[in-house]
Amino acid sequence: MWLGIGAAAGVVFGAVGFAALSSVDWSGMAGGPALEQAAKECGLNDGSAVRVKDEGRTLALETAGTDASGLRFAEVECVLEVVGAPDHVVEAMMSTRALDGRQSQEWEGFEAQWSYHPDSGMSVLLRQT
């Protein structure tokens, strides 16, 4: 009798566990295309200012400058928020000057590199690590 109850409990717990794991969004985990998904969530399409590379694990973003068209920084911020960039990364980007050269920061699962010039705007390269 105890064997039957144990077997039934195992089946129930197994089914519940499988259902829970099936509903998890795994796109941002274990090398999934989190950056490509973030761009889509922010309404950005692959084009000259938005380039998806490396099967969705690299995202290049270009903001507008005085001599170049591109994204608004708010659109870059949206992507950073979706992928969980810490506030200090966003603040570092916003305070970058042309004289600062290429900058980089890392956080759990991601790396950002960027540079800024008033004429060409900000060039941001996000990479899922």
Q: Categorize the per-residue pLDDT at 1 as very low, low, confident or very high, splitting at 50, 70 and 90.
A: low
- Say what the pTM is: 0.74
Q: DSSP secondary structure string, 6-64?
A: HHHHHHHHHHHHHHHHHTS--TTSTT--HHHHHHHHTT--SSSSEEEEGGGTEEEEEB-
Q: pLDDT tens for residues 20-71?
A: 444 444 344 444 579 999 999 999 998 989 999 999 899 999 999 999 999 9
Q: Categorize the per-residue pLDDT at 82 as very low, low, confident or very high, splitting at 50, 70 and 90.
A: very high
Q: Categorize the per-residue pLDDT at 81 as very low, low, confident or very high, splitting at 50, 70 and 90.
A: very high
Angle between helices 87-94 and 73-82 in degrees, nearest 10: 160
Encoded tokens for 1: 């009798």
Q: Which amino acid is at 20?
A: A
Encoded tokens for 15: 């089914």
